[in-house]
């Protein structure tokens, strides 16, 4: 396939670009490089704004994978990332619909579920608790408006990511923030009491799930990509300290509108695409730690 990936220099975009190229696909990564990254840019990167894309740019493209976004939930309370993300998503939707490309796969987030109990299935109601999440809800609803405009054989799908982490991730999420702290000999800062739980998905597992989606005969309107297990943040901190062999923990005020738990219901994914092997959390953290600094000496965790 000939594939265009927006956000191709980002954490997930770079890993997906590499995996799809290894599988024999022709991949064009596109990114505006507005977000500072620890990673080298992928070969053949097109440095361009998504909103500068025209339908002609999609000539000869089979599949567009739209990952580009400003993704910080806390920052969304202070900045205009809601408006930015929705504008970018609307542009890619319109550009795709009037182009000759066959498929568009858009990235969304577990944040659209908000505060709900139990494993979160795709048919659960929206319950956004941040401007970022409101933007993702709006973009999913825009996709629902554009989907009926597609002709025969054309597809538009959405994947909802649940806390993907791994080597070389920017320190703007809980796992890389902990890894960055421990390798920098700083305390691991837990916002709140640490009982809030997150469904953590190692990057290799997330890419395996994405590949299954792309290799399937048809894109689902929306499907979860996660591990199916929620881990309390304080347990994640302890696991990072075990992997590093040292470290201390401190606490700060809770995040605004903190959500107590995210757990992906993977029933739909499994029925459609089968099961994917999971990397154990301790092993995934050890692999991720290697990209954040020097190895540390063995010691027990302290609070």
Give helix then strand counts, H and E, for the chain: 8, 13
What pLDDT band is residue 296 in, cutting at 50, 70 and 90?
very low
At residue 232, φ and ψ (nearest 5 deg) are -60, 145
Closest CA to 109 of 88, 137, 86: 137
Q: What CATH number does the domain located at 2-162+201-225 have? A: 3.40.50.720
Contacts of 260 (CB under 8 A, 6+ apart): 115, 195, 196, 197
Could you report the per-residue pLDDT of 3-25, keeping only the tens digit for each?
999 999 999 999 999 999 999 99
Is residue 103 helix, strand or coil? strand
pLDDT of 6 reads: 98
Q: Cα–chain-centroid distance for residue 275? A: 19
The superfamily in CATH containing domain 165-197+228-264+274-289 is: UDP-galactose 4-epimerase, domain 1 (3.90.25.10)
What are the Cα distances from residue 97, in Å, to 5, 156, 187, 235?
Answer: 16, 9, 49, 45
pLDDT of 36 reads: 65
The pTM assigned to this predicted structure is 0.93
Give residue limits of the domains in the chain: 2-162+201-225, 165-197+228-264+274-289
Contact 62, 1 (CB under 8 A): yes
Q: Judging by DSSP bridges, how do beta strands 103-109 and 188-191 pair with one another?
A: unpaired
| Rounded average pLDDT over 126-151 | 97
Q: Give the bridge partners for 31, in sequence order.
A: 47
Could you report the per-residue pLDDT of 277-288, keeping only the tens digit for each?
999 999 999 999
| Rounded average pLDDT over 143-160 | 96
Contacts of 270 (CB under 8 A, 6+ apart): none
Distance in angstroms (rounded) separating the CA atoms of residues 207 and 210 = 5
CA dihedral 276, 277, 280, 281 (to 10 degrees): -20
Supply the DSSP string of 284-299, one letter for each residue: HHHHHHTTSSS-----
Contacts of 232 (CB under 8 A, 6+ apart): 194, 195, 196, 197
At residue 103, φ and ψ (nearest 5 deg) are -135, 145
Q: Which ranges in the chain belong to alpha helices (H)? A: 11-22, 81-97, 131-146, 174-183, 203-215, 233-244, 267-273, 281-289
At residue 27, φ and ψ (nearest 5 deg) are -125, 130
Distance in angstroms (rounded) separating the CA atoms of residues 141 and 20 = 28
Percent of the chain with pLDDT over 90: 87
What are the Cα distances from residue 203, in Å, to 118, 133, 145, 169, 252?
Answer: 24, 22, 31, 10, 28
Could you report the per-residue pLDDT of 182-225, keeping only the tens digit for each?
999 999 999 999 999 999 999 999 999 999 999 998 999 999 99
């Amino acid at each position: 396939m000939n594939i265009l990936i927006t956000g191709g220099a980002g954490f997930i975009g770079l890993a997906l670009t590499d995996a799809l190229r290894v599988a024999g696909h022709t991949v064009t990564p596109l990114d505006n490089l507005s977000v500072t990254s620890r990673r080298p840019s992928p070969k053949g990167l097109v440095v361009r704004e998504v909103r500068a894309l025209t339908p002609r740019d999609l000539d000869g493209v089979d599949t567009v994978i739209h990952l580009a976004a400003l993704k910080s939930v806390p920052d969304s309370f202070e900045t205009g990332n809601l408006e930015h993300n929705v504008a970018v998503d609307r542009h890619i939707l319109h550009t795709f619909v009037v182009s000759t490309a066959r498929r568009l796969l858009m990235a969304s987030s577990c944040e659209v579920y908000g505060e709900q109990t139990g494993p979160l299935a795709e048919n659960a109601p929206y319950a956004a608790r941040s401007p970022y999440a409101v933007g993702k809800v709006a973009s999913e609803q825009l996709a629902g408006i554009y989907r009926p405009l597609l002709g025969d054989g054309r597809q538009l799908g959405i994947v909802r990511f649940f806390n993907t982490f791994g080597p070389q991730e920017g320190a703007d999420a809980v796992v890389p923030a902990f890894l960055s702290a421990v390798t920098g000999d700083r305390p691991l800062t837990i916002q709140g009491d640490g009982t809030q739980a997150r469904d953590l998905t190692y990057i290799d597992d997330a890419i395996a799930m994405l590949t299954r989606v792309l290799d399937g005969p048809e894109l689902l309107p929306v499907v979860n990509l996660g591990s199916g297990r929620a881990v309390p943040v304080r347990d994640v901190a302890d696991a990072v300290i075990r992997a590093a062999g040292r470290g201390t923990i401190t606490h700060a005020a809770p995040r605004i509108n903190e959500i107590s738990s995210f757990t992906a219901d993977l029933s739909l994914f499994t029925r459609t695409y089968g099961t994917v092997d999971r990397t154990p959390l301790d092993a995934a953290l050890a692999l991720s730690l290697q990209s954040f600094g020097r190895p540390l000496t063995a010691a027990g965790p302290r609070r």
